[in-house]
Amino acid sequence: MILCCGEALIDMIPTATLSGIDGFVPHAGGAVFNTAIALGRLGASAGLLTGLSHDMFGAQLDAALRASHVNTDHLVRCDRPTTLAFVQLTDGQARYSFMDENSAGRMITAAELPAIAQDVTAMFFGGISLASEPCANAYATLSAREAAQRTIMLDPNIRTGFIRDTDRYRKRLAAMLSHTDIVKVSDEDLDWIVQGARSTDAKAHDLLKFGPNVVIVTRGGKGATGYLHNGERIDVAAAQVQVVDTVGAGDTFNAGFLASLDEAGRLDKASVRAMEADTLERALGYGARVAAITVSRSGANSPWISEL
């Protein structure tokens, strides 16, 4: 099973009402939640580890997980409220305003983390959960604890508005990268992590020096590039579609990438360490393909495998 570790929240999506004024409709979301949902829909064995509220929005999230065949055994349930993310769409690009204080997801601590089931072979970390404390410290502790025996993939998905202490965040991220097998960043994420006026290739190789065996850089409509520790570089183009909005695009890409490796039997630590260019290219291409379907429709509505 691929266990996704991080936030589950409600995206409040602007929707036209009968009066002509936009209202907000609650949709289950969150970067890590979206990746788990997409994995389940692609037929992969997937689970989610997060703090989940007993409130009405927590029930909505729970129902969405089950509907997409995502295992819920690792959920940490509590009475704190669910995080709400109000979305503003401009030319298909999403901007967010969060209500996250004292939330079920944010307040999870290392002491509350459940034991990880033996059938978990890979773990995915990312999103705002890596910036918001105390949950960021809990997930950092969990990844360090499990890295010796399970493949770790990380997508920092950096949101600077959530970073209260930049130095502490950078230190925590560097520690996580040191035991991560696969890291995916957007070109904007990469420029924030590795600062200075240098090429994307140079910065990606700097990121490899932190510890990962594979670095993936996504560039929206320009496609994605994968870098192996042996110096090989693989480019894949983005599928050409009519973009409705970009909500969940990167999350679905992550799921497609992981699902491809899992289906090929190449998601264990030894296989990732020895990954060949053709394996990386297939996984990148599959990630781009499923992400293209997500951006062609409203919301983080990832495709079912039957749609491929």
The CATH number assigned to the domain holding 156 equals: 3.40.1190.20
Q: Into how many domains does the chain fold?
A: 1
Structure tokens at 227: 């870098």
Q: What per-residue confidence (pLDDT) applies to 94?
A: 67
Range of the domain at 125: 2-307
Quote the pLDDT of residue 221: 80
Which parts of the chain register pLDDT below 50? none
What's the CA gap between 291 and 275, in Å, rounded?
23
What pLDDT does residue 93 have? 66
Encode burial over 98-127: b for 16+ CB neighbours within 10 A, e otherwise: bebeebbbbbbeeeebeebeeebbbbbbbb
DSSP bridge partners of 226: 216, 234
Q: What are phi and psi of 202, to 5 degrees?
A: -65, -40
Residues 6+ apart with CB under 8 A from 237: 223, 288
pLDDT at site 258:
98
161 vs 158, 164, 165, 188, 218, CA distance in Å?
9, 8, 11, 14, 21
Q: Specify the 3-state DSSP secondary structure of 243.
A: coil
